[in-house]
């Protein structure tokens, strides 16, 4: 699978009531201090119903506090190709998403208000041409998806369910009984090879 436009969403356990201007201020601090990617601008979209609240625009990827599916969380949206096979690209998207979760949880501006759940995550392939929402796409990515997600949750019981709605992008929801921290998951996935 050549798809590289990978989206990862981790949901907020706490912090849903953080004001949009606070998210805006936090994301603005990332632009000058981030060294492993190019981040360029922050936009307030809190006026959009069931959309992003605040969007941090980057060259390689965007980050947003997102409520598109009715639940607030951090959405990592990879835009540019990266090296390796699909498993490598998925792993790197998870690393960047989890690093962002950790960064938000540790933000002095948020003062501990934001905590992320790790028992549920959303993975979407934002490319309807290369990755239509079909059983064929699931079959093409299933081995890589299983291997990476198993490593992410370090062997804990997980379930992976594809959204069958043909009008939607290829999306799978990951669920686990585990309530590990974002730091734990990041440690697991960084150790993957």
From CA 28, how far away is CA 130, in angstroms rounded?
A: 33
- Between the alpha carbon of residue 151 and those of residues 77, 90, 141, 158, 186, the distances in Å are 21, 12, 15, 11, 10
Give per-residue pLDDT as tens, 63-87: 999 999 999 999 999 999 988 999 9
Q: Write down the pLDDT at residue 193.
A: 41
User: 3-state SS of the chain: helix, strand, coil percent to 5?
Assistant: 30, 30, 40
What is 72-116 written as a DSSP string? -EEEEEE-S--SS-HHHHHHHHHHHHHHHHHHHHT-TTTTT--EE
pTM: 0.95
**pLDDT at 192 exceeding the cut of 60:** no
Give per-residue pLDDT as tens, 93-134: 999 999 999 999 999 999 999 999 999 999 999 999 999 999
* Residue 20 pLDDT level (bands cut at 50, 70, 90): very high
Upper half-sphere CA count for residue 78 (Cβ side, 13 Å)? 24
Provide the phi-psi class of 114: left if phi over 0, else alpha when psi is between -120 and 50, else beta.
beta
The answer to whether 75 and 64 are in contact (CB under 8 A) is: yes
């Amino acid at each position: 699978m050549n798809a590289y436009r990978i989206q990862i969403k981790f949901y907020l356990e706490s912090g849903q009531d953080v004001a949009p201007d606070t998210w805006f201020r936090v994301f603005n601090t990332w632009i000058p201090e981030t060294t492993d990617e190019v981040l360029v601008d922050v936009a307030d979209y809190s006026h959009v119903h069931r959309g992003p609240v605040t969007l941090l625009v980057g060259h390689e990827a965007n980050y947003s506090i997102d409520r598109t599916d009715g639940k607030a969380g951090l959405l990592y949206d990879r835009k540019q190709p990266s090296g390796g096979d699909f498993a490598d690209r998925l792993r790197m998207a998870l690393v960047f998403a989890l690093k962002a979760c950790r960064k938000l949880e540790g933000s002095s501006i948020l003062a501990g208000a934001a905590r992320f759940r790790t028992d549920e995550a959303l993975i979407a392939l934002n490319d309807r041409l290369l990755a239509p929402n079909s059983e064929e796409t699931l079959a093409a990515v299933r081995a890589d998806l299983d291997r990476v997600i198993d490593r992410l949750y370090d062997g804990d019981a997980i379930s992976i369910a594809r959204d069958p709605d043909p009008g939607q992008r290829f999306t799978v929801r990951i669920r686990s009984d585990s309530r590990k921290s974002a730091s734990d998951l990041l440690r697991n996935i960084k150790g993957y090879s």
